[in-house]
Structure 1
């Protein structure tokens, strides 16, 4: 009996020990699992994250998609943030100085703000490994756009500039009608025998793509226009972006890179001559600056009322989408900006949106890797996904019009970066408006030059007046608004000139 009791006690102790071991095992398993889970969470949280800021919602899908690709390739996470364009650089600065906010490590900025960004410590010289140093990727205008004080402080991503937009359908109709008239005359009278030998194509649509303003006026004089045409040549004369090409080749605000305060050249014979021609254009194509803007100009072109205009790259998607929706029934073409004549050449303006590495960033190396990825690997998809034209040079383009805009971009003047001349474009636009309205081109350019130089020097600067140059565009021509026709008068006394 006693032996039996001892066995029972021992059995009871064993059971208790087993239960204790089981409970201990359960506790150990749960604790171990919790620690493992916490370790995985901590591991994920420890993965490097960089922050990319931008202001244009058209880039959202593209940047989010490319951020995922970049993560798959590098294991570096990218937090993409759309922020307001109002006081954008101030917001970048505030976030960079606030320890409770995530510092934007890399952000997209227009090139005219690069001096301000660099002086505030929000931009830094790019390392030699950055894509900007590969000359094959960017042409001179793109590189100058991100050059400040002899240093590359950003990398060009995409750009905007202007080009000549024309109605290709109308050019073909004009050529066909001109040839039909010419061939008809060949069969009359003494030329009939010559005509029977065969019809000669004397005019092609391609020959009607103007290379100068003189060409446009000559075409308007020589050829009849289709019935729907109201305006032979019409552009937004209220916006300096579409006017600038008239004098762009002869003025400078800061030199090639737009950052040299000693290189201000606004008032000269060529710039005066070019602006006088601009003023004369108002006698041919009377355009009310108060009633027209870029949207109305593009709408008129879309409705087939205009043959030639000056447009920015957004016109490609706008017209293609309108054609798909049955709202644009014509073919169109894009060409280089026309010169004024053989002596006076033109040059457009460009704005480059660039990738900037924040000087306050603690992840500059990873931000540089993202920059390299977006430029070298992702830029081929930029236009199709956003409608933005990449600043990267390519051997070929899916859309032929991209190549034409790139050609205009290559020859353009980047908008300057200097803080002291931040008002230059507003003042230049006012100058153009006054000249368009009839005020003296010579006087307006001289006053503008004195104003800008005074701002830079900190003391009054007076320009020596230049003798007013004589400018001849075409023999006596006058445009009839709303008809698409030019009236040509006989020779004026004293030679060629304009009928006012």
Structure 2
């Protein structure tokens, strides 16, 4: 299968000219009065394709702002179905019909897109460590080359009640256990409604990936290196044991749903929970004084990394206006990054954004330590397999057996 895919990509790259040229004809003796009227050049059209309607208002805003200073550019956002999204970009580009000049993509698709010749290099000097964390840059890179413009991110983080907990109290799970042993607090009248210092859902990998993340390597730093792959090792086994201990200590059950945990947090019954960036509007509507922190480490030796997904803008090399498309992609992801949240409710990958609520800025710390979803061919398979393995481990199955099973299967697929 991999050979077929590779051949397909190679064929596409050979068959499709990178830039379409325009034939210009010159005529002599056309200087009479009736031929002196100047013809105004047509606007350059930059088509921006995306499949998530949450970005519509933001892209319209970017369109209006960009066109103010670029009168000859017509930005055209195009919302399409998510079905066969990547294939349709490929097919439209190959047919040279309705070619998107810029399109949105998640970081896990960037390997496929780059190998297919559908991702133009990002050479802007704006995308450095001064403005973006390493995770944002690595998420949008393939084999060390920056191939996209990081826009927004999703990840998980710790949300905690600042009436009772301080930053030091939630610095690690070990610190949280120490706090929960504070007998004076739990015997006080004001804590009567508190049920637990910490709770989380354990059924969804996106919220519990970090618990087993110490020692995990799925594609290396950029998520594109098949030789850097390890699911079972001594560190992941140690992390899994700590995970089971944590579940037991805080009496976490599979019956603790994500929505249930969030409701009890906002009601003041749970003092801290693992939340995701999908819940930002719910948090904003709540009345609990809260703060956010990076997903806690177990201790100073077992360091966690929550899973993250980065959405980026990609410039299509088959655009006839690659230079202008690149300028718009930079403008929408860098210069206007501070407006992204107000239009979409999503957080920008740009690290220097000031938000009106402090916890929104604090969530970036969790993104900055996160593990981006990988870009490996067949690499997406690891996540449901790992979720099943963790479910089995929680239910009492052998840690080594479960993680080794995922490790062995995936290495066969990747080699």
TM bracket (short chain): 0.7 to 0.9
Corresponding residue pairs, total: 375
Matched, 1:438 2:402: no
Tell me which of 399, 402, 417 is aligned to 2:375. Answer: 417
In the superposition, the TM-score normalised over structure 2's length comes to 0.84
Tell me which of 74, 77, 82 is aligned to 1:80. Answer: 77
Hey, what's the Cα distance between the residues in 2 that align with 1:442 and 1:65? 51
Give the corresponding residue for 1:238: 203
Matched, 1:298 2:295: no
Hey, what's the Cα distance between the residues in 1 that align with 2:103 and 2:222? 21
* CA-CA distance at 1:208 after TM superposition: 6.1
* CA-CA distance at 1:239 after TM superposition: 1.3
Contact 1:106 1:357 in 2 (8 A): yes
* CA-CA distance at 1:248 after TM superposition: 2.0
Tell me which of 102, 105, 112 is aligned to 2:101. Answer: 105
Hey, what's the Cα distance between the residues in 1 that align with 2:131 and 2:158? 25
- The alignment partner of 1:353 has SS state of strand
Give the corresponding residue for 1:477: none
- The alignment partner of 1:423 has SS state of helix
Give the corresponding residue for 1:31: none
Give the corresponding residue for 2:29: none
* CA-CA distance at 1:402 after TM superposition: 2.8
- Structure 2: stretches of 5+ with no match in the other structure: 1-33
Give the corresponding residue for 1:353: 311
- The alignment partner of 2:158 has SS state of strand
* CA-CA distance at 1:260 after TM superposition: 0.6
Contact 1:167 1:330 in 2 (8 A): yes
Matched, 1:311 2:275: yes
Give the corresponding residue for 1:129: 124
- Structure possessing the higher radius of gyration over alpha carbons: 1
- Structure 1: stretches of 5+ with no match in the other structure: 1-34, 172-204, 323-327, 458-500
Contact 2:110 2:375 in 1 (8 A): yes
Hey, what's the Cα distance between the residues in 2 that align with 1:245 and 1:265? 15
* CA-CA distance at 1:283 after TM superposition: 2.1
Matched, 1:377 2:373: no
* CA-CA distance at 1:397 after TM superposition: 4.4
Hey, what's the Cα distance between the residues in 1 that align with 2:48 and 2:353? 29
- The alignment partner of 2:171 has SS state of coil
Contact 1:130 1:372 in 2 (8 A): no
Matched, 1:429 2:380: no
Contact 1:117 1:123 in 2 (8 A): yes
Tell me which of 89, 93, 97 is aligned to 1:92. Answer: 89
- The alignment partner of 1:244 has SS state of helix
Hey, what's the Cα distance between the residues in 1 that align with 2:259 and 2:117? 38
Cα offsets for 1:159-217 (capped at 9, x unmatched): 11221101223x1xxxxxxxxxxxxxxxxxxxxxxxxxxxxxxxxx4266321212222
* CA-CA distance at 1:299 after TM superposition: 2.2
- The alignment partner of 1:51 has SS state of strand
- Which segment is superposed worse, 405-414 or 63-72? 405-414
Contact 1:147 1:153 in 2 (8 A): yes
- Which segment is superposed worse, 86-95 or 234-243? 86-95
The alpha-carbon distance between structure 1 residues 356 and 260, as it changes in their structure 2 partners (threshold 3 A), is same
Give the corresponding residue for 1:334: 292
Contact 2:313 2:333 in 1 (8 A): no
- Superposed, 1:39-438 pairs within 5 Å as 43=40, 46-75=42-71, 76-99=73-96, 101-126=97-122, 128-129=123-124, 131-132=126-127, 134-169=128-163, 171=164, 205-206=165-166, 209-223=169-183, 224-225=185-186, 226-289=191-254, 291-320=255-284, 322=285, 328-394=286-352, 396-438=354-396
- The alignment partner of 2:271 has SS state of strand
Cα offsets for 1:270-320 (capped at 9, x unmatched): 11000111122332344443x443233222222332111111224333222
Hey, what's the Cα distance between the residues in 1 that align with 2:350 and 2:373? 18
* CA-CA distance at 1:429 after TM superposition: 1.0
The alpha-carbon distance between structure 1 residues 280 and 125, as it changes in their structure 2 partners (threshold 3 A), is same
- The alignment partner of 2:170 has SS state of coil
Cα offsets for 1:397-427 (capped at 9, x unmatched): 4432232111222222211100122201111
Hey, what's the Cα distance between the residues in 2 that align with 1:43 and 1:230? 71
Cα offsets for 1:325-373 (capped at 9, x unmatched): xxx3321111122111233222222211111111322221111010121
Hey, what's the Cα distance between the residues in 1 that align with 2:166 and 2:315? 45
